Amino acid sequence: MSNITRKELKSKDELYEELKLTLQLPIKGISFEPETFKEVIEKHPELQLLHLCMDPSKDSTVGYYIPASYYTESGFQVYSGLNRRGVYHIEKEQGAYYIADKNSKLLRLYFMEAPKFYSQITSDGVAMKTIASDQGNRAHGHKIITIAYSNECALRDKGLDCLFCNINATKNRYGEQDGVQWKTPLQIGETVKAAYAEGYEHVTITGGFIPERREVDYYLDVAESIRDHLGRDDFNGTACIGAPRDLSTIEKYKEAGFSSIAFNMEVWNKDFFQAICPGKAKECGGYDHWRESLTYAVEVFGKGNVRSNFVAGLEPKDYLLEGIETLSSQGIVATATPWGPNLGSKLEGHQSPTFDWHWEVQNRITSILRKNGITYKQLSNTSAGNFIIHEIYRIEEGLINLDSAEFLE
């Protein structure tokens, strides 16, 4: 591994043009053949994608050599999943990989060495790479891990799945081949310790829906295990949960050591919430209770330490932006990921809005958050993932740092 020699940092306009392409990939689709990435995966098997939660692909990748993520030359993280009907495709030339359209190569892709903990095993013999995934943009020092404690959702049994979600379909298709199972508190504690030992600094615990009483007990056990393994009470963790019917339950997560908490509403409009997220509406006290939970959580965790994510494209733009404005004005980190009608979800085969729609939304969300005082640190410490919003913050605040990016040759 070595530092890639680059030109001087691109201008803001050039960075935005590069970032736009990373958003176009999941919206317009990208295709590649099963063995396109064979060489890089055989050389670095730890880079092979494991499906720990939801899968962004529009087509099955069973039997594919496929990396968990790759990066543009300015360090923007990319993973869009496979769409055989996509506008873009991956080309390989003399050992290098490129994003291309039907006319030309558009951008070279780079890979980063996998985290060291990916090669480690828990005390009960489970590969840590099946427990936690690197979800931060390490190219710019954003080192976080996400742990999906389960790769299934109990709402399926009641026919109340969120319409956009394919977590259960992902488990059915990839769970056995990837060796992904339910994570115990012991496994999580050991994995967080290993990740933090190499410089990771934030962990988000999330997963499919489980009954509230079981969820609370489990999260408290996980927090205790992490504290014991790290030897400290403050582990900078986000608990992503369903809105508890008893709001005082939120205090237990704070007492357990979580520094932030998340209730993902997915959509803002009340009628859309009922239709798109029937399980969240029925099992967690309904729409009004979700909003009350977020407000109460700010009182417990403080402004900038509560997050709610939306799925952009499931409802009209004005509804979504109203939700972002309302929540962020209360000190809630309100984010939105572009919707892709993923394989196995109830909305499979539907169409997401255009790239222009999504690009405008991501920029307007970022402007609203910054106007309401949400800092990049708060965004990073509450968000499970590397969103377009993170990148816009980095560009606007001069946080693009190529010196910290080491790519595999």
CATH number, domain containing residue 341: 3.20.20.70
* Number of structural domains found in the chain: 2
The fraction of the chain above a pLDDT of 70, given in percent, is 97
Q: Across residues 21-49, what is the average pLDDT?
A: 93
pLDDT at 1: 39
Q: What is the arithmetic mean of pLDDT over 62-75?
A: 90
- The pTM of the full predicted model, rounded to 2 decimals, is 0.94
Model pLDDT, residue 313: 97
Q: Is a pLDDT exceeding 90 seen at residue 140?
A: no
Say if residue 254 is in the same domain as residue 157.
yes
Asked if residue 400 and residue 270 are part of one domain, the reply reads yes
Residue 385 falls inside a structural domain:
yes
Domain end among 109, 141, 163? 109
Within a domain: residue 6?
no
Q: Are residues 156 and 280 in the same domain?
A: yes
Render pLDDT for 237-254 as a digit per residue (tens, 0 to 9).
999 999 999 999 999 999
Residue 35's pLDDT is 95
Inform me whether the pLDDT recorded for 382 exceeds 90.
Answer: yes
Integer Cα distance of 134 and 138 in angstroms: 8
When pLDDT is cut at 50, 70 and 90, the band that residue 385 belongs to is: low
Residues 100 and 125 in one domain: no
Is residue 196 domain-resident?
yes
pLDDT at residue 76 is higher than 80: yes
Q: What's the mean pLDDT when you consider all of the chain?
A: 92
Predicted confidence (pLDDT) per residue in 337-357, tens digit: 999 999 999 999 999 999 999
Answer yes or no: do 72 and 210 share one domain: no
Say whether both 171 and 307 belong to one domain.
yes
Interatomic CA distance for residues 80 and 55, integer angstroms: 10
Residue 5, in any domain of the structure: no
Whether residues 104 and 134 share a domain: the answer is no
Please give the C-alpha separations between residue 322 and each of 271, 300, 313, 365, 368, in angstroms, as whole numbers.
Answer: 14, 24, 14, 10, 10
Q: In the predicted model, what is the mean pLDDT of residues 107-119?
A: 93
Strand order of the β-sheet with 144-148 is 132-134, 144-148, 202-206, 237-240, 260-262, 306-312, 333-338
Do 179 and 253 fall into the same domain?
yes
Domain region containing 132: 119-404
Helix, strand, coil percent values for the chain (each to nearest 5): 40, 15, 45
Domain membership flag for residue 202: yes
Residue 181: Cβ-neighbour burial (10 angstroms; 0-12, 13-18, 19+): middle
Of residues 78 and 5, the one with the higher pLDDT is 78
Give the count of alpha carbons within 13 A of 318, CB side only.
0
Question: How does residue 404 score in pLDDT terms, banded at 50, 70 and 90?
Answer: low
Answer yes or no: do 95 and 125 share one domain: no
Question: Are 177 and 283 within one domain?
Answer: yes
